[in-house]
Amino acid sequence: MTHRTGEKRVRSIAAALRPATLRACESYSRHACKGRTGVSDFKPDLRQVVADIAADMAQRTDRGAVASYIPELAKVPLDQFAIAVTTADGEMICAGDFETAFSIQSISKVFTLTLALGQLGDNLWNRVGREPSGNAFNSIVQLEYEKGKPRNPFINAGAIAVTDVLLSGHQPREALGSILRFIRFVADDEDVAIDENVARSEKETGFLNTALANYMRAFKVLEHPVDHALGVYFHHCAITMTARQLAMAGRYIAFGGKIPTTGRSVVTSERARRIAALMLTCGHYDGSGDFAFRVGLPGKSGVGGGILAVAPGKASIAVWSPGLCSARDERSRRAPPLQKRKGRPIGRPFFKNWLPGPDSNQRPTG
């Protein structure tokens, strides 16, 4: 059931991500599904696939519009596109503006969720749900209906609640430092930084987020001062990364909780699967189902124009283009037909050996 009475449907980020960014994910998944079963077979065509995607995007004129409700993001030039793909053996394949840093915005929620699960484990789900929202990412109507408990950790209310968890035993500056250090670690790059101008811009215009935080505080979902939780939240959404850095940062989700080139464990394989599952079902808010249908990969979008997607066991993928389109415009576009191979829908080859098959004795836990 959805509840939108008295509330305009806010632009859905996944459906709102500009066609170039979504098209790149679709094109990548179509090419990668053509019978490749191992990384050694998977890579030879990959450079050409990435180059073709970038060449196609360079010719596109449907650039959409940047997120003007955050003034600093409104200044970003539209004519940019980047794609970066990293595979299990450490190969990095990039095209376009892949060394241009951009605001990752809500993609940071993947990393804060990882840290909060490390801190609370499954007790986190007492404060945040795991269900798709079906509503706008900043819906206060849904939060009221749910009595202050956010539907999932990727909508704004859920991410603010997750941020509040990370404040336990820490001052805001310490919590933010932990988030930044973790992202630098998984990206293997100390140059990942916070754009203070974007953080300030979000604070100055974040009235709905302030309302969400106060509402959760009233229901004791937040345990720390609202301004502390929001301060850390605005800053981790203002982290800037290049497409190359972002693809590197997603490796632990794509490769069973480990950094594949070193074997170093970041999370358990079970936790990596669960984070990926939430990315698939909730990573694009009320556009998550459409993204799963069209692309078939777990992904998380950000209003800065980026998407982090993972092909489990195969690759971590980052794409970026700053322009957005309206959810209505995107949904009016006819979804392309699913590519099939031996009766399997798009994305299935990536999940082979990753999810239990119909004859498996494995059972979901928790």
215, 233, 266, 319: the active-site residue: 233
149 is catalytic: no
CB atoms within 10 A of CB 30: 17
285 is catalytic: yes
106, 108, 139, 288: the active-site residue: 106
**Residues 182/189, Cβ–Cβ less than 8 Å:** no
First CA to last CA distance, the chain: 25
CB atoms within 10 A of CB 121: 11
29, 49, 50, 109: the active-site residue: 109
69 is catalytic: no
12, 110, 285, 288: the active-site residue: 285
HEC letters along the chain: CCCCCCCCCCCCHHHHECHHHHHHHHHHHHHHCCCCCCHHHHCCCHHHHHHHHHHHHHHCCCCCECCCCCCCHHHCCCCCCEEEEEECCCCEEEEECCCCCEECHHHHHHHHHHHHHHHHHHHHHHCCCCCCCCCCCCCHHHHHHCCCCCCCCCCHHHHHHHHHHHCCCCCHHHHHHHHHHHHHHHHCCCCCEECHHHHHHHHHHCHHHHHHHHHHHHCCCCCCCHHHHHHHHHHHHCEEECHHHHHHHCHHHHCCCEECCCCEECCCHHHHHHHHHHHHHHCCHHHHHHHHHHCCCCEEECCCCEEEEEECCCEEEEEECCCECCHHHHHHCCCCCCCCECCECCCHHHHCCCCCCCCCCCCCCC
50, 110, 303, 319: the active-site residue: 303
**Residues 187/181, Cβ–Cβ less than 8 Å:** no
Residues 6+ apart with CB under 8 A from 273: 256, 312, 354, 355
Distance from C-alpha of 208 to C-alpha of 157, rounded to nearest angstrom: 10
103 is catalytic: no
168 is catalytic: no
Report the catalytic residues.
Answer: 106, 109, 233, 285, 303
